[in-house]
Structure 1
């Protein structure tokens, strides 16, 4: 059988390099940055480590070799991400967001757009290149992003509008974004490029009216507010952006009318990455608690691991870590087979592993006991980081579960397809009129 979980020589080397980077370059920066009350300063504190990660190819290695990237597979990416996230998942998110922003250009952009935007991203001599993934918007009524592909026209769904100015060959952007990562850049003057999901047709619903816009650093009409101060992932910058008559040339627009597919595929690609990131944090919590249990006696004569309840608890955590890693690897392998079109298994891996993580960390904390609340120890930070995973990256309830269900509801869905690594169908939603009619019929039935 061609199923083998043994790492190749290349993967072992990749793992060693990623582990050395995480432990020797990144780890010494984490505590001070995490505790800094200023989120922008926390973000800037990891810049030197980011530059080193860029030089190692971790920041843009997913870009195809044809455009200067490493052409790394989704499976190989798992090896790197687990090692970095075992030290800090917020830093790893900065790297992940480069992919969320740039991979849509790989999948949906023209050849001219790929040459213009991907090549510079992979060949920055400074090693500072940042790309922002600009989708999420401020909550409200209407507001927020979870129903970005719903049938309702503006102002529901995506509220950042892009009106075409035919006379000047430009799109004029107005509105704001909330929560985009990397968007503000190292100096709050903007990332090198922001890939924004915009509404190019205000009269159409989310499955027909959305597109993607490339907004480079220095574009007039964009301002960046101070980053959001967060519970976890404090090393990752999340901004509020305001667009006021921001003009971008029409050649910077892609996937016109298919912005919903851009969002869905990007968050499918990131699913296995978020899954293995969860595994990395769970692994660190497990290893810390295991070491504690082997040396701490709790006032007794023997280390507490000699007590059955402690040993069983740690065994459960160990099982969760191994199950999560297997699922993440399987999902990444599936995406490699199907050009990142795994709209059920990608979200499944993300949801499963992120929900597993919080429980695993808390179990580890119960082993350590009240001392796990001591902020000089790492477990309280692991718990804060764990709380982020089910909520970010197209939140489990908000978007990822909905996508899984959309695949399962397709008449052509084969429930055995994922086990067989066979394709699973996923396409655009029904036209707005059909969706609205369905909703009305459903209400009548209820």
Structure 2
């Protein structure tokens, strides 16, 4: 039997559904959103598209059907993500954040927590539920750095969760929460990584806690430097915020590193396919223009050999990127959403290569790439962002790969042989 890269009928239907939504609903919201200078306002202008995505089950597609989600596998979700990202990867990120903020409950929550939190996400009467992932902290915090700066020595988590009776009392700050909500006041729920234990060193003493919107003592804002005001750059402050003890994901107690590692591994192929979607959009524009535009020469520019060579190279890289993302997603599905090394390698390889593809397409289009109709300004921004996005390539992702490779029992043919390569704890010095 040969290795089959053909989508099943069900997967093709998922692709068509995502493509139809993206081209008929999402695309119409981009012009107004992109013309908005304030990025929070731009985010809100996509709200109607999000509500439609919620109604169609796209916004909660990654959640199990037993709790009201679409029950898509990681591979299925990856297929859908490419179609959305080809139109607007920022919107794909909004949907992805629901996975970031809810999949840890699916993995580590008890039955009551799954019914309470995941079911709430899929049965919102307002059809606009947003979840968030809140792990990193501002530099300079007591005992704090960002996780991506040193994932192996997470004395970098300064947010404390102190048990007092039937509540945890949270104190500290978080940066880069993956969602500020539609009004800038916070998402409906967020998974927060906090220090519940006294252990210092590596990731010991960390746990995952669900913090709900409206919790007293929790405020959401943005850095005062004004450099970035994306909804995914929310600064969350916890001032004696009381969270019920039943919001702690018990299976994560003093194992917060496992949650961080697994979440970013799950993110790997999705980020990769998002980059492929962005590059695909740029490639299709460059190809179309090259067949219609002659510049100051008589023949169309596509007839110049170097243009065809570059476009052919870009097309090949996009194809290989897609298959790597599919493979990593398939591996996640086969190994209980664990792909700590394959997910990292996929994100590293694909996001950096796709940035180069977008830049090459811009060189072909030349001075015209600044015109709004071609969307190259947005494509370049998105392609540049993905390599440094959650679990940045130069820090956390490369450190993860290095750490796995250095393990005594690592099998260099493990991925090829489809063997499980699990990382139970983050280890290392520092």
Fold similarity call, TM over 0.5: yes
Given candidates 141, 146, 154, the residue that maps to 1:144 is: 146
Contact 2:328 2:342 in 1 (8 A): yes
Matches of 2:197 and 2:274 in 1, distance apart? Answer: 36
Which residues in structure 2 correspond to 1:332-371 (within 5 Å)? 332-371=329-368
SS in 1 for 2:296: coil
Matches of 1:88 and 1:31 in 2, distance apart? Answer: 11
Given candidates 324, 329, 340, the residue that maps to 2:326 is: 329
Q: Are residue 244 (structure 1) and residue 236 (structure 2) matched?
A: no
1:140 deviation in Å? Answer: 3.3
Which runs of no fewer than 5 residues in structure 2 stay unpaired?
none
263-272 vs 103-112, which moves further: 103-112
1:120 deviation in Å? Answer: 1.2
Matches of 1:328 and 1:341 in 2, distance apart? Answer: 15
1:423 deviation in Å? Answer: 0.9
Given candidates 190, 197, 203, the residue that maps to 2:186 is: 190
357-366 vs 56-65, which moves further: 56-65
Aligned partner of 1:391 in structure 2 is 388
Matches of 1:111 and 1:59 in 2, distance apart? Answer: 22
Matches of 1:328 and 1:23 in 2, distance apart? Answer: 22
Instruction: State the TM-score, normalized to the length of structure 2.
Output: 0.95
Aligned partner of 1:124 in structure 2 is 124
Contact 1:93 1:236 in 2 (8 A): no
Matches of 1:214 and 1:148 in 2, distance apart? Answer: 24
Which runs of no fewer than 5 residues in structure 1 stay unpaired?
440-446
SS in 1 for 2:417: coil
Contact 1:43 1:237 in 2 (8 A): no
Aligned partner of 2:200 in structure 1 is 204
SS in 1 for 2:210: strand
1:177 deviation in Å? Answer: 1.0
Contact 1:150 1:157 in 2 (8 A): no
Matches of 2:367 and 2:151 in 1, distance apart? Answer: 45
Contact 2:185 2:221 in 1 (8 A): no
Which residues in structure 2 correspond to 1:204-243 (within 5 Å)? 204-226=200-222, 236-243=231-238
Contact 1:39 1:237 in 2 (8 A): no
Matches of 1:37 and 1:355 in 2, distance apart? Answer: 27
Matches of 1:205 and 1:235 in 2, distance apart? Answer: 32
Q: Are residue 158 (structure 1) and residue 174 (structure 2) matched?
A: no
Aligned partner of 1:403 in structure 2 is 400
Matches of 1:164 and 1:205 in 2, distance apart? Answer: 21
Relative to 1, partners in 2 of residues 1:90 and 1:189: Cα closer, same or farther, differing over 3 Å? same
Q: CA RMSD in A?
A: 1.8
Matches of 1:418 and 1:429 in 2, distance apart? Answer: 20
Relative to 1, partners in 2 of residues 1:242 and 1:103: Cα closer, same or farther, differing over 3 Å? same
Matches of 1:375 and 1:140 in 2, distance apart? Answer: 40
Matches of 1:365 and 1:188 in 2, distance apart? Answer: 35
Matches of 1:91 and 1:227 in 2, distance apart? Answer: 22
Matches of 1:159 and 1:394 in 2, distance apart? Answer: 19
How many residues of Structure 1 are paired with residues of Structure 2 in the alignment?
A: 425
1:29 deviation in Å? Answer: 1.1
- Deviation per CA, 1:404-439: give whole Å up to 9, x if none: 122211211111111122111311134xxxx55xx6
- Deviation per CA, 1:27-62: give whole Å up to 9, x if none: 111132123121221111111100111111111111
1:201 deviation in Å? Answer: 2.2
Matches of 2:64 and 2:227 in 1, distance apart? Answer: 33
1:227 deviation in Å? Answer: 7.7
1:22 deviation in Å? Answer: 0.6
Matches of 1:8 and 1:122 in 2, distance apart? Answer: 26
- Deviation per CA, 1:334-378: give whole Å up to 9, x if none: 001001111111111111111011100000011011221334531
Matches of 2:152 and 2:414 in 1, distance apart? Answer: 27
